[in-house]
């Protein structure tokens, strides 16, 4: 799962996850389908439409968690989807401030972001 994806490829994954059956994919999906299917993040259904593989769903969820962590680190009022907030909370990356009642990034969350940024720059 060490495939570097571009912003456009992540966008295509997001769009595929929301694409209704029997709807023709847009240009973003079209230009990224070959690579995403080649690295087994998307697959074709029997009817020819696209769907995310389990690995594709995991990659997309990890990106949503990282984006959510970055958003909370900048703005404690940033909205998080339920599954992302639950995951980050269980892992101890975010916590609710008892005084303000707002979600904040924890020390562990800051360390995680610093590690992600360090690995991103070195690759």
Whether residues 45 and 68 fall in one domain: no
In order, the DSSP letters of 74-123 are H-TT----HHHHHHHHHTTSEEE-TTT--EEE-HHHHHHHHHHHHHHHH-
Q: What is the DSSP letter of 19?
A: P
User: 């990890």: which residue's tokens?
Assistant: 62
pLDDT of residue 48: 84
pLDDT in tens, 7-43: 999 999 999 999 887 788 899 999 999 999 999 999 9
> Residue 101 belongs to a domain with what CATH number?
1.10.10
Whether residues 77 and 118 fall in one domain: yes
Cα separation, 19 vs 16, in Å, equals 5
pTM of this structure: 0.86
The domain in which residue 48 lies consists of: 7-52
How many domains, the chain? 2
């Amino acid at each position: 799962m060490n495939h570097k994806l571009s912003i456009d490829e992540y966008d295509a994954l997001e769009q595929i996850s929301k694409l209704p059956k029997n709807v023709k994919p847009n240009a973003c999906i079209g230009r990224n389908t070959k690579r995403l299917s080649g690295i087994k993040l998307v697959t074709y259904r029997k009817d020819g439409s696209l769907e995310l593989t389990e690995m594709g769903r995991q990659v997309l969820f990890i990106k949503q968690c990282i984006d959510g962590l970055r958003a909370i680190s900048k703005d404690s009022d940033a909205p998080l989807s339920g599954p992302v907030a639950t995951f980050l909370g269980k892992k101890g990356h975010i916590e609710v401030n008892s005084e303000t009642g707002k979600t904040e990034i924890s020390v562990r969350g800051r360390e995680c972001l610093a590690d992600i940024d360090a690995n991103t720059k070195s690759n």
